[in-house]
């Protein structure tokens, strides 16, 4: 005869079972761990006699090639991974900082096709096929500093310097667009970067000095 017990009955039966001998808490935990293992294993399927990774429809390819500082880098990227995370924790480019992690401070600024972007707020999958530049890619092969980096050294423009890589990347973009900015123009261009040490006066000195060094070549 068909079993027509309501669902609660099954639940109660389950609780009662757990209280019976042989269904100890230890066995229950073992069961949970085993279930977790089988869930992980379920993402693999047997195909043509070999084990293949199951690919859900619409799934994003995880192994991608990024062009970072002129080099091709292969990296395993999760679907929702931010560019800042990939750069710092997968590629070891820790010059890029994460401050607010929500598009407010500019510490994570990198150049994407020459345009300054908050890398904490871009998905890495968005930048496949685009040219990425981080602070590590600014100096020349022979170790010569970029003019903006040299300006930082000469002006001693930062205190703790946590914000410095983001500012420098944005300054590089600014000078590319406007090689001879006024102090006010520089302040406006760099307004998306925040400095918790509030060293803005000296930071603007760096920006103008960097522009001067760049013009001189
Ligand atoms: S860490 Fe990206 S804007 Fe603050
Ligand atoms: S120098 Fe410390 S945050 Fe800018």
Q: What is the pLDDT of residues 156-188, one digit of tens each?
A: 989 999 999 999 999 999 999 999 999 999 999
Of ligand 1's listed atoms, the one at least distance from the Cα of 101 is 1
Provide the b/e sequence for 73-97 (b: ≥16 CB within 10 Å): bebebeeebbbbbbbbebbebebbb
Spatial CA neighbour of 214 closest among 156, 182, 175, 184: 175
Instruction: Please state, rounded to an integer, the average pLDDT across all residues of the chain.
Output: 82
Q: Residues lining ligand 1, CB < 6 A?
A: 98-101, 103-108, 118, 120
Two structure tokens written together for 191? 């307004």
Mean pLDDT of residues grouped by 10 in the chain (217 residues)? 40 38 46 36 39 55 94 96 98 98 98 98 97 98 97 96 98 98 98 97 98 96
For domain 60-137, the CATH class is alpha beta
CA of 133 to the centre of ligand 1 (A): 16
CA contacts within 13 A on the Cβ side of 203: 29
Mutate to test the pocket of ligand 2, among 105, 162, 169 (most ligand atoms within 8 A of CB): 162
For the chain, the structural domain boundaries read 60-137, 139-217
CATH of domain 139-217: 1.10.150.120
Could you tell me the two tokens for 107?
Answer: 């510490």
User: Would you state the pLDDT for residue 57?
Assistant: 60
Cα end-to-end span (Å), the chain: 91
> Residue with structure tokens 């999760």?
78
């Amino acid at each position: 005869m068909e079993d027509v017990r309501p669902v609660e009955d099954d639940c109660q039966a389950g609780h009662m079972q757990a209280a019976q001998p042989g269904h100890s808490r230890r066995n229950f935990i073992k069961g949970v761990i085993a279930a977790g293992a089988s869930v992980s294993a379920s993402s693999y399927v047997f195909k043509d006699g070999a084990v293949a990774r199951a690919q859900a429809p619409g799934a994003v390819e995880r192994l991608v090639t990024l062009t970072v500082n002129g080099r091709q880098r292969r990296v395993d990227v999760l679907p929702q991974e931010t560019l800042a995370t990939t750069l710092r924790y997968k590629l070891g480019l820790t010059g890029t900082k994460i401050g607010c992690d929500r598009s407010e401070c500019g510490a994570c600024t990198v150049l994407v096709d020459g345009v300054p972007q908050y890398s904490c707020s871009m998905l890495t999958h968005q930048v496949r096929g685009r040219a990425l530049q981080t602070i590590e890619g600014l100096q020349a092969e022979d170790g010569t500093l970029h003019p903006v980096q040299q300006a930082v050294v000469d002006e001693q423009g930062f205190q703790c310097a946590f914000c410095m890589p983001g500012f420098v990347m944005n300054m590089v973009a600014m000078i590319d667009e406007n090689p001879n900015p006024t102090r006010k123009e520089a302040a406006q261009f760099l307004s998306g970067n925040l400095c918790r040490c509030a060293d803005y006066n000296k930071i603007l000195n760096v920006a103008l000095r960097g522009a001067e060094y760049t013009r001189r070549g």
